[in-house]
Amino acid sequence: MQTPKDIRVSSWAELNDVIFYQAWDEELGRYRTPYAFRGLSDTDYDLKTSLIRLGGPYAQLEGALLRNFKKYAHRDTSPGDSIWNWLAVAQHHGLPTRLLDWTNSAYVAMHFATINLDKIVVDGAIWCVDVRKIQQWMPPKVRAVLSEQSANFFQVDMLGRVSSTLAEFDNLSPDPFVLFFDPPNLDDRITNQYALFSTMSSPTAVLDQWMADKPEIFQRIIIPAALKWEVRDKLDLINITERVLFPGLDGLCGWLKRYYSPRTQAVKPHVEP
């Protein structure tokens, strides 16, 4: 899969330059990137949701999945009864939903683009979506809530002012749109991954297809297979690891297993001079 906004880097230094390009905010006098990031270990992976990947009549099953999740989940699982809280909790625990996982951290996205050693011999990608520019496709009611809070993405309580049900959300506009929101602080994993979720106003909408004719709102950074080991090792050196991003024994064991795995020689490593 290729997009017109693919940027193929050739070194760790270039990767960092691209990540922080145009991050300087002149008005604030601070570095503030407008992008949300999603790292994928294979450039052939698209942005279909886990709900779509479920297959079958998935759009009709969305309500049943959430209804039964709420029925059988522990009553204290969700921090509130908002559909947006329940969606976030369900996504966090692996239920197929219309949400996609993103992060505010480019380095966390790099981690997910390089964590899978089975994919270390293929190019990876970091999707970067400008959360400011996507607002022009939101319905006025949705944009107004962001504007009132001077925000670039939503909190769950803000989404409650937009709609209280998914059916109401889907009917806000005849054309699909996308928004990003902060998940509730469910556990340390959410916090440490600097997590964001995206959702579209239709269970059948696919984000990369929706963005295809809107190249001004995204870019995709390609990490060549030959560069992956260097990126992976340098992320370990700055402590961007499973041990930190997945706190607990599972994350610790995942990190140790990967860290001590032998390096494959299927791809000639990139070595900086």
Residue-wise DSSP of 91-134: HHTT---S-EEEES-HHHHHHHHH--GGGTTS-EEEEEEETTGG
CB 130, CB 211: distance < 8 Å: no
Whether 61 and 49 have beta carbons less than 8 Å apart is answered as: no
Question: What DSSP designation does 202 have?
Answer: S
Residue type, 222: I
At residue 229, φ and ψ (nearest 5 deg) are -65, -40
**In contact, 89 and 165? CB cutoff 8 Å:** no
> Cα dihedral angle (76, 80, 86, 89), rounded to 10 degrees?
-60
Q: What is the DSSP string of 34-71?
A: -EEEEEES-TT-----HHHHH-SSHHHHHHHHHHHHHH
**Cα 2 off chain centre by:** 19
**Residue 67: pLDDT above 70?**
yes
What is the CB neighbour count within 10 angstroms for residue 73?
15
Give the pLDDT confidence score for residue 273 in this predicted structure: 47
Query: How high does pLDDT run on average in the chain?
Result: 92
- pLDDT recorded at residue 4: 66
Estimate to the nearest angstrom the gap between the alpha carbon of 59 and the chain centroid: 21
Provide the 10 A C-beta neighbour count for residue 224. Answer: 17
pLDDT, position 87? 94
pLDDT for position 74? 78
Which pTM value belongs to this model?
A: 0.92
pLDDT digits over 116-140, tens only? 999 999 999 999 999 999 999 999 9
Give 144's pLDDT tier (boundaries 50, 70, 90).
very high
Q: Measuring CA to CA, which residue among 108, 92, 130 is closest to residue 100? A: 92
Read off the tokens for 244. Answer: 């930190």
Q: What amino acid occupies position 52?
A: I
For residue 258, pLDDT beyond 50? yes
Q: Around 253, how many Cα atoms within 13 Å sit in the side-chain half-sphere? A: 3
| Phi, then psi, of 82 in degrees rounded to 5 | -60, 140
Mean pLDDT confidence for 5-33: 92
Residue 272 clears pLDDT 90, i.e. is over it: no
CA–CA distances in Å: residue 152 to residues 61, 182, 199: 31, 10, 14
pLDDT at residue 187 tops 90: no
CA 213 – CA 171 distance, rounded (Å):
23
